[in-house]
Amino acid sequence: MDRSTEIREFLRTRRARITPEQAGLAPHPGARRVPGLRREEVAQLAGVSVDYYVRLERGRTQGVSETVLDAVARALHLDDTERAHLFDLAQPTTTRTRPRRPLSPQRVRPAMYRALDSLSAPALIQGRRMDILAANRLGYALFADFEARPRSERNFARYVFLDEAARSLYADWEKAAADCVATLHLYAGRHPDDPQLTELIGELSVHSDTFRRLWADHDVLAHATGTKRLHHPVVGEMTLDYVVLAVESDPDQSLVILTPEPASPSAEALDILASWTSPSTTEPHAPEKTRRAD
């Protein structure tokens, strides 16, 4: 990914969504040629020169300080996730580091497999680029059998955009798609030099008009909690709450757990799905094992 392009488009789309009135500026008479704030208005709000802000928006971030980035973030009303993304893209002087080494393959620790095995709810371990590294039996049954797919296709973004089953599964597929793209954008800010990310973005851009449109919005999202409404082909309608937990040993891994409201129709549907996916009755005492996607 080209960092300068990412900074330019991210800042451009952020200022385009804020009106002068929202920013506390007096409206100017006459028609505006651009939506949202002009560059000079952002510079005024951030307390920097117009030339300095223009250079920043063009991706020329050499020597930029955290103080300036904080001022720009406040001027553009960035939330915490957007602010962090701006810092990842701009790399202020106090956080610049040596060039990063190539990313090593991700591995799931045995303790995490045991944790998956112990859960009675659908659960997945998601890695870089939304790769699915592992899941328990219910996790695979709820979404897709990623383990049975070629390694290059064990990716949630590919599933959402390129698998027709995902469009049927999600009651609000457009929102799921937008969240997926916003998550990838956040990752791109942290790892702009990841060649597998570049390959993934290229593939999705070629095959999905929706992906191209959403990618151009430059929204970012850090998943923590939320709700998914699903229409499962086996058990029908379900509403599941999810929580995303960071894996301390690897900041690019997260554990995603989905649970229904107790004693609800969704809980009953999930019980049926669990029964449907249970081990063969010819092995009644065999422990359920997590199936690995790595």
pTM here? 0.85
In a domain, 178, yes or no: yes
Contacts for 176 with CB less than 8 Å, ≥ 6 apart: 160, 166, 170, 228
Position 55 pLDDT exceeds 80: yes
Position 292 pLDDT exceeds 60: no
Q: Which of 95, 130, 151 is the last residue of a domain?
A: 95
Position 94 pLDDT exceeds 50: yes
Residues 46 and 180 in one domain: no
In a domain, 102, yes or no: no
Q: How many residues does the chain have?
A: 294
Q: What's the domain count of the chain?
A: 2
Closest by Cα among 166, 131, 122, 161 to 294:
131
Interval 279-288: pLDDT, tens: 753 333 333 4
Strand-by-strand arrangement of the 225-232 sheet: 225-232, 236-247, 250-259, 123-126, 132-135, 291-292
CATH code, 45: 1.10.260
* Cα–Cα distance, 40 to 20 (Å, whole number): 12
Domain residue limits at 171: 110-292
Residue 237's φ and ψ, nearest 5 degrees, are -70, 140
The predicted pLDDT at position 59 comes to 87
Residues 165 and 233 in one domain: yes
Q: Which of 61, 95, 129 is the last residue of a domain?
A: 95
Residues 41 and 146 in one domain: no
Residues 125 and 263 in one domain: yes
Q: What DSSP designation does 193 have? A: T
